[in-house]
């Protein structure tokens, strides 16, 4: 296992998780990486660690450049266990290391690792925490680390660290992507793949925290960033302006003039309505994406929702309600809280027909401005579809 040089005296020493396919509900078809970074200076410093089951891989990469016992600072930018999970094992080797983290970080680490902390307290004294505030600096020798708290992007403990002399922003979850590759840098892979996975990551992780993301972007705007080193996926040493511009757009909930049509269908009638809606948008020259919930995972659908102004959701009625796939999607969508969107509920029914009203209500509760719902009994006739298409076209700009 080799360390990968990121810049002079800075190395990637993380782990590649080739096989993970579900990351707390997020479908990770391409796997992921857990990125840890080693800074060789008078004070040898590790930025974040890796998921506990990848500890040996991280340790081997650290050993490729330095004896891990010599690590003096472990910066914990984020408590979530994909980044802090190897701290307990590392603290048994780097016994003199201090853990640099936010106040919430210390609380979170203590809550997660109390058992290990107590064990090490009995054996070796205790974990030495140094808590830092936003703007605090830590001199490593030739280099200085600066800390910026980024609460709720996406946990209360989050912070980023900036190595000013080298211009490296260790951004933790921000600007990351779930991609497992042997390449380490965005410029070693097709740019659009990196950007698409960055969008999926933002849509599924950071979307609810636009206001906080904007604060972070404003805070880093004065930094001379040469490299963004996130905690997942590829490192940005090019494309930095592009990814920051995208983050700004997403944090503003700025949507493009396009529509996503998300639906489940029982006997094909709701799907017929979905295609009619697609045709209405097409006739208005509004780009569309058809997303059957039978064929698309909700985390992939969110990538398309991220930049779409119109969110159309369809369900037939099943047992007086909507289809379970549709209910699960709406629950997920509500949690991720996209703003400034226009919604449309649609679907077919046999009797009762409650589903469309329920979808409409769910989208309204998310603050969406709603178009008139479309609700058709049994199999839609050609004439009815044409009428509904005309009505929808009249509503669209």
Any catalytic annotation for residue 245? no
Any catalytic annotation for residue 41? no
**Binding ligand FEO by CB under 6 A: which of 17, 57, 80, 271?**
80
Select 149 or 232, whichever has its Cβ closest to ligand FEO: 232
Q: Which stretch binds ligand FEO (CB under 6 A): 40-48, 77-85, 99-107, 178-186?
A: 77-85
Distance CA 246, CA 155 (A): 21
- Per DSSP, the residues of 86-148 read THHHHHTTSTTPEEEE-HHHHHHHHHHHHHHHHHHHHHHS--EEEE--TT-EEE-SS-EEEEE
Query: Binding residues for ligand FEO, how many (CB under 6 A)?
Result: 9
Distance CA 41, CA 47 (A): 13
- Residue 157 sits in the site that holds ligand FEO (CB under 6 A): no
Q: Which stretch binds ligand FEO (CB under 6 A): 75-83, 244-252, 279-287, 384-392?
A: 75-83
Which tokens in the block code for residue 34?
């857990």
- Residue 389 sits in the site that holds ligand FEO (CB under 6 A): no
Of residues 204-243, those binding ligand FEO (CB under 6 A): 231-232
CA-based nearest residue to 197, from 153, 232, 249, 242: 232
Distance CA 206, CA 251 (A): 9
Any catalytic annotation for residue 297? no
Distance CA 105, CA 165 (A): 25
Any catalytic annotation for residue 78? yes
Which tokens in the block code for residue 366?
């998310």
Q: Which stretch binds ligand FEO (CB under 6 A): 55-63, 79-87, 263-271, 322-330?
A: 79-87
Interstrand relation of 10-12 and 15-17 (parallel, antiparallel or unpaired): unpaired
Which tokens in the block code for residue 169?
């922003």
Q: Which stretch binds ligand FEO (CB under 6 A): 76-84, 102-110, 300-308, 313-321?
A: 76-84
Any catalytic annotation for residue 173? yes
* Residue 110 beta carbon to ligand FEO: minimum distance, rounded to whole angstroms: 18
Catalytic residues: 24, 78, 80, 82, 154, 173, 201, 232
Chain residues that interact with ligand FEO, rule: CB under 6 A: 78, 80, 82-83, 154-155, 173, 231-232
């Amino acid at each position: 296992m080799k360390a990968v040089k990121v810049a002079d005296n800075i190395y990637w020493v993380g782990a590649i998780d080739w096989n993970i396919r579900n990351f707390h509900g997020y479908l990770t078809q391409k796997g992921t990486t857990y990125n840890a970074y080693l800074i060789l200076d008078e004070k040898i410093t590790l930025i974040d660690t890796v998921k506990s089951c990848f500890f040996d891989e991280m340790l081997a990469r650290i050993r490729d450049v330095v004896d891990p016992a010599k690590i003096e600072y472990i910066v914990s930018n984020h408590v979530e266990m994909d980044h802090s999970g190897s701290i307990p094992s590392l603290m048994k080797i780097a016994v003199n290391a201090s853990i640099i983290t936010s106040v919430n970080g210390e609380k979170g680490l203590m809550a997660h690792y109390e058992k290990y902390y107590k064990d090490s307290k009995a054996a070796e004294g205790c974990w030495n925490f140094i808590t830092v505030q936003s703007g605090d600096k830590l001199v490593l020798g030739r280099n200085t680390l600066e800390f910026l708290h980024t609460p709720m992007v996406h946990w209360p403990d989050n912070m980023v660290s900036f190595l000013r002399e080298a211009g490296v922003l260790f951004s933790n979850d921000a600007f990351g992507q779930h991609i497992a590759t042997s390449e380490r840098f965005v410029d070693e892979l097709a740019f659009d793949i990196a950007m698409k996975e960055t969008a999926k990551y933002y849509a599924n992780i950071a979307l609810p925290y636009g206001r906080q993301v904007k604060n972070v972007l404003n805070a880093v705007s004065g930094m001379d960033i040469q490299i963004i080193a996130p905690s997942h996926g590829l490192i940005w040493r090019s494309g930095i302006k592009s990814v920051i511009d995208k983050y700004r757009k997403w944090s503003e909930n700025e949507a493009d003039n396009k529509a996503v049509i998300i639906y489940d269908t029982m006997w094909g009638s709701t799907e017929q309505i979905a295609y009619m809606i697609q045709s209405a948008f097409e006739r208005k020259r509004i780009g569309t994406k058809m997303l059957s919930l039978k064929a698309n995972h909700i985390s992939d659908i969110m990538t398309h929702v991220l930049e779409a102004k119109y969110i159309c959701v369809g369900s037939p009625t099943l047992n007086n309600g909507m289809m379970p796939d549709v209910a699960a999607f709406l629950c997920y969508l509500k949690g991720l809280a996209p703003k400034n969107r226009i919604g449309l509920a649609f679907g077919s029914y046999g009797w009762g027909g409650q589903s469309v009203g329920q979808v409409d209500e769910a989208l309204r509760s998310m603050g969406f401005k709603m178009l008139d719902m479309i609700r058709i009994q049994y199999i839609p006739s050609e004439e009815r579809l044409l009428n509904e298409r005309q009505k929808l076209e009249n509503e669209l700009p």
